[in-house]
Chain A
Amino acid sequence: MSRIVVITSGKGGVGKTTTSAAIATGLAQEGHKTAVVDFDVGLRNLDLIMGCERRVVYDFVNVINGDANLRQALIKDKRTENLYILPASQTRDKEALTQEGVEKVLEELSQEFEYIICDSPAGIERGALMAAYFADEAIVVTNPEVSSVRDSDRMLGILSSKTRRAEQGEDPLPAHLLITRYSADRVEKGEMLSVEDVQEILSIGMLGVIPESQAVLNASNAGMPVVLDTESDAGQAYRDAVARFLGEDRPHRFITTQKKGIFGRLFRG
């Protein structure tokens, strides 16, 4: 049985692509055959984060248009077994993603993959709706700030009304909350919403909290999903999120501030 999972948020720059790369890699590491699909037509940066941008020949739109078949367009990840990437087109516009085309490609991917991770573009327009329309499950990525939470709330409303499941009158698709770029220090200073605040407003199950971390930038510069950086806080937090996604019960980490040592107290006040 194959599951289509959309990584979505409403707002841009919150960490959807970072999350898509990390979750897809994590699932593949756990032995699940996984494809990660870039729906951000025109921008294309999933392949950069996955470090496969120099191996792109054909893209998602080529497959929809019949210029290439899926096998030709899918890029096999070099580091992780069981992981494939379907890159977005850089040259086309979002209109190229027709509903029939997307359905056909997802249908074909479902024959072969256990998980299909859809990296949604920002916004609530066509591209984002296409990424979500056929999903069985959603991971809603939110930063702990008011505007991001509001956009996620709006996206949750859309997921419950504008997806195939909703239109067919089935139960709303399960949605999980992933809070990213979380800084316990800034929460303590009142500059950011706390985990409880965000969860209270969105009231959906919590998949994880990913701390704001230099490791994410380092990893993306290196063209490597941060989940492979097993030493890093963000890498570990993503690993926990993947485990929870697969049904494991793990305590949340990185939510409270580190106890400052004597030097921290002396020099940072």
Chain B
Amino acid sequence: MSANPSPIQPIEFKGRMILVSILRLHPAEPVALQEALEARMHEAPDLMRDMPVVVDMDAMADTPAQDLLSALETVRQHGLKLIGLLYSQVSAPLADRTGLPLIVLGPRAGGEVPLRPAPKPPIESAPQETSEAAPVPPVQAVHTPSLVVNQPVRSGQQVYARGGDLIITGAVSAGAEVLADGHIHVYGPLRGKALAGVRGLDSARIFCRRLDAELVSIAGHYRIAEDILDTERGDNRLITLSGETIRILEI
């Protein structure tokens, strides 16, 4: 018998993933940084406000530490929530002084799938409303047209459909990763990782012609290859989130 009779543990680690943007800083005058942040803020205020970011300062090797610290402060002042520094030679010495954790990412040698520039969603170019004291709406994905990828997504590559659905007409290789704020459709075999609803959309789904994935995730809940039964793998699969459970169904 356990010493603690209570069945409820005070803590519990949940196997959820969250998607965090990386903000890469390039050497620039403080004014330029300020202007760039303001411009972004103006473009998408709802998205930027309280947006969690990890800061990548790898390109700032020649900038003195004091200037780096004030750059971070500028970022903070513009409403972004700094949750860590991407590990590099530049950021490592600053970890203690900023109180931010260092975050190490795995390599991704293949880089991003080159995409033909998608037509700009009309909503981005539309003038922003300027009602000042409007109540802060919950952060919600802005609807943008689906991102259609007409070439296979290979090992080491990543594709992310921000704000919308992702449609891939070919295969997603083992070692590749496809993400969307909305649904993901794969009209070839899905052998890599697929993460739908990465900003929290519980109703997001993954559709694939053949499921043989390394990982499937919806709104942060996920199942790794080991947890996907042989009987669940196969042709024409639909993956949904029901409560906290990832379900795999035949279409």
Contact = CB atoms under 8 A, between A and B. Distances in A.
B145 interface: no
Nearest to A165: B114
Interface stretch (B1-9, B167-175, B194-202): B167-175
Nearest to A200: B189
Given A158-B110, A160-B113, A161-B110, A153 B151 contact: no
Nearest to A172: B151
Contacts of B173: 150, 153, 157, 201
A164 interface: no
Contacts of A161: 110-114, 157
A90 interface: no
A150 B155 contact: yes
B109 interface: yes
B206 to A, nearest CB: 20
A169 interface: yes
27 contacts: A124-B110, A150-B174, A150-B175, A151-B155, A153-B154, A153-B155, A153-B173, A153-B174, A153-B175, A154-B154, A154-B155, A154-B156, A157-B110, A157-B111, A157-B154, A157-B173, A157-B176, A158-B109, A158-B110, A161-B112, A162-B111, A169-B114, A169-B116, A172-B151, A201-B171, A203-B152, A203-B188
Contacts of B110: 124, 154, 157-158, 161
Interface of B: 109-114, 116, 151-157, 170-171, 173-176, 188-189, 191
Q: Considering residues B114, B116, B175, which has the most beta carbons from chain A within 10 angstroms of its beta carbon?
A: B114
A151 B156 CA distance: 10
A173 to B, nearest CB: 12
Interface of A: 124, 150-151, 153-154, 156-158, 160-162, 166-167, 169, 172, 200-201, 203
Contact of B114 (A160, A200, A201): A160
B170 A157 contact: no
Nearest to A125: B109
B65 to A, nearest CB: 30
Given A161-B110, A161-B111, A161-B113, A156 B170 contact: no
Contacts of A153: 154-155, 173-175
A112 B150 CA distance: 36
Nearest to B171: A203
A156 B154 contact: yes
Nearest to B154: A157
A201 B110 CA distance: 17
A145 to B, nearest CB: 14
Contacts, number: 58
Contacts of A151: 155
Q: Considering residues A151, A157, A167, A201, which has the most beta carbons from chain B within 10 angstroms of its beta carbon?
A: A157
Contacts of A154: 109-110, 154-156, 175
A124 B108 CA distance: 11
A167 B155 CA distance: 19
Nearest to B156: A154
Nearest to A124: B109
A201 B170 CA distance: 11
A160 B176 CA distance: 14
A35 to B, nearest CB: 29
A167 B109 CA distance: 16
B151 A160 contact: yes
Nearest to A146: B174
Contacts of A160: 113-114, 151, 154
B139 to A, nearest CB: 31
Given A153-B154, A172-B151, A203-B152, A158 B111 contact: yes
B196 to A, nearest CB: 22
A200 B109 CA distance: 23
A150 B155 CA distance: 7
B116 to A, nearest CB: 7
Contacts of B156: 154, 157-158
A153 B201 CA distance: 31
B14 to A, nearest CB: 31
A154 B114 CA distance: 14
A60 to B, nearest CB: 25
Given A154-B154, A161-B157, A200-B189, 14 more contacts: A124-B109, A153-B155, A154-B109, A154-B110, A154-B155, A157-B157, A158-B110, A158-B156, A160-B113, A160-B154, A161-B111, A169-B114, A201-B191, A203-B171
A147 to B, nearest CB: 11
Contacts of A203: 152, 170-171, 188
B219 to A, nearest CB: 27
A161 B115 CA distance: 9
A162 B112 CA distance: 10
